[in-house]
Amino acid sequence: MRITNKMITTQYTRSLNNLSAELNRLNTQVSSGRKFAKASEDTSGAIKAFQIRKDLSKIQGYQDNIAHAKASLTNAESALMHIEELMQDATEKIILGLNGTQSEEERAIIATELRSIQGQLLQTLNSNASDSYYFGGSNTTEKPFEVIDGKLRYNGYDLDLPLPLDTPEANEAMVKALESDSLYMDIGLNVKFDAVTGKVDESTVFGYSLAGISIAGSGTTVVDGVDVSNNLYNLLGSLAEEFESDGYAHDKADALFGHLKDVSRRVMGSITEVGSKTSYLDFMSERLADRTFNLQERQVEVEGVDPAYAIIQFESQKVAYNAALQMGARIIQPSIFDYIV
C-alpha cells in the first residue's frame, strides 16, 4: 500500500485526538471523584445510583419524622412526670387531711390546695409546644381538656357521663376509638391502606401522640354505693368538696382516696408507654442509620472512582500520549527532499 503524506497526518491527528479525549475523561474522573459524568457513560450504574439516591432521601424523611416524634414524646413525658408529681403532692395533702386530728378549717385549707392542684393538672393536660397540644389524640389545634360546670371534658365529651350515644356498647366503642385516636407518621414500615375503607393500616405507621382520655380516665365507678368519677380531675374535685363539706365523713373521703390511688396508676402506665415508644424509635433510628451507612458505601461503589486506579490509568495514558507526540514529531518532518542536494 502506498502511504501518502495526508494519510499519515490524518491518522496521526485522529489518534492524538482519541488519546486526549481519553486523557480528558480520566482527568475529569480524578478531579470530580465520579466514575461517570453522564448517564450514557455507564447507564446501568446511573440507574442504580438514582435508586440509591432515592432510598437515601426517603430514609432522611423517616429520620426527620422519628426526630419529630421523639421530641414530641419527650415533651409528653416531662408533662406526664409533672402530673405524677402533682398526684404525689395531692396524695400527701389528702393523707394529711384524712388525719382525724385536723380541724374543719385545716381541712378547708387542704381543699383549697387540692383545687389548686386541680388547676395545675388541667394546665398540664393542656400542655402544648409550637401550638400543638400533646394529649389531644389527633386533635392538636384545640385545647383538648376544658372544664364546664366543674366537670372535665375531653375533646368536647363529658368524661363522667356516659357519652351521648344510645347503647352502652356504642359508648364503649366510642371510648375505645377516643383512646386509640392518635397522630401517626411514616417511619419506613411500608405504609398500607385498607383496600375497602381506604383507612391507614395502623400497624404500618407509628402513632406518636397520646390520647388524654387514657391519662385522665373516663366513666364512673360505684364506690360505697355512690357513682364516683374515674378521672383524676373530677376525683380531686370530689375530694376537695368532701373536705369542705359540713357533713364531712371520713369513711367516704377514705373511699374516694382509695379510688384516686387506683386511678392515678394510669399516669405511671402512660409514662411507661411513652418510654417504650421512645426506645422503639431509637431502635428504628439506629436501623435506618445502618441502612444509610450501607447505602452510602454502595453509592461510593457505584458512583465513586477509585483514585489510585484512576491515577495509574491516567499516568499510563499520559505515557502513551507523550510517546505519540514524540513519534509524530519525527515521522511528519522528513521526506526525500531533506536529502536531495
Site residues, other proteins (CB under 8 A): 1-7, 10-11, 14, 32, 34, 36-41, 43, 46-47, 49-51, 53-54, 57-58, 60-62, 64-65, 68-69, 130-132, 137-141, 181, 183-186, 191, 193, 198-200, 205, 335-337, 340
Shortest distance, position 12 Cβ to other proteins, whole Å: 12
Residue 155, phi-psi category: left (phi > 0), alpha (psi -120 to 50), beta (remainder): left
Nearer CB in complex with other proteins: 144/217: 144
Nearer CB in complex with other proteins: 32/296: 32
Mind giving me the DSSP string for 83-145?
Answer: HHHHHHHHHHHHHHHHSTT--HHHHHHHHHHHHHHHHHHHHHHT-EETTEETTBTT--SS-SE
- For 248, the 3-state DSSP assignment is coil
What is residue 164's DSSP assignment? S
Nearer CB in complex with other proteins: 195/336: 336
Q: Which of 327, 299, 49, 76 is nearest to 208 (CA)?
A: 76
Shortest distance, position 292 Cβ to other proteins, whole Å: 14
Beta bridge partners, 228, equal: 221
Shortest distance, position 231 Cβ to other proteins, whole Å: 21
Nearer CB in complex with other proteins: 4/103: 4
Shortest distance, position 337 Cβ to other proteins, whole Å: 5
Shortest distance, position 57 Cβ to other proteins, whole Å: 4
Q: Which residues contact 231 (CB under 8 A, 6 or more apart)?
A: 152, 159, 160, 216, 217, 218, 263
Nearer CB in complex with other proteins: 3/195: 3
Q: Which amino acid type is present at position 97?
A: G
Nearer CB in complex with other proteins: 60/279: 60
Distance CA 73, CA 67 (A): 10
Q: Which of 77, 202, 181 is nearest to 138 (CA)?
A: 181
- E strand intervals along the chain: 128-129, 132-133, 145-148, 151-154, 157-158, 184-185, 206-207, 220-223, 226-229
Nearer CB in complex with other proteins: 198/247: 198
- Grid cell locating 158: 363529658
Shortest distance, position 199 Cβ to other proteins, whole Å: 7
Shortest distance, position 139 Cβ to other proteins, whole Å: 5
Shortest distance, position 110 Cβ to other proteins, whole Å: 39
Q: Which amino acid type is present at position 111?
A: A
Nearer CB in complex with other proteins: 25/82: 25
Backbone torsions φ then ψ of 121, nearest 5 degrees: -60, -45
Q: Cα torsion for 34, 37, 42, 48, to the nearest 10°?
A: 70
